[in-house]
Structure 1
């Protein structure tokens, strides 16, 4: 189990924004919500995001990322897009053990 838990103190954002930070993480695909079914060895999105927000909308909420340059944000966006495409590739497929571990 992987649990995403934003930390207001360490990430330097107001505690009142905790839910907003969590939602933006999902809405930008920084943290996609998916599950792996061990019975049929398949991956499925539990909350697919068809039109994700730019990752910058998530990053600007968190002061620990305030030092990032535009180029770094573009790189994070690219990696986020690549990760979600990789997960989509496996969605609904019956995965062998080695493939499932790699996801």
Structure 2
């Protein structure tokens, strides 16, 4: 999720509020052993309602958040649908015992 050379992508000024809403809503996602899940509709609806959005504006807001969330999930869970490897070494019985006192 970066631009050229690893720099953050440029955000259009018109999208700044949507991006701020996306990052605020990102805290309301399920995270499990299989990776991250999507932001729930109820969280998006509550946030939109708090902003005073209703009708078509609410649905446009929901589509925009879902689009951003889809891209973030693709990145967070690995581009091939597999979770990114966050460990420098794969878990082995010996490593498990060392970490959890086996």
User: Based on CA coordinates, which of the two structures has the bigger radius of gyration?
Assistant: 2
Class of the TM-score when normalised by the shorter of the 2 chains: 0.3 to 0.5
Calculate the TM-score normalised by the size of structure 2.
Answer: 0.37
More helix by share: 2
* Higher relative contact order (Cα pairs below 8 Å, separated by 6+ residues): 1
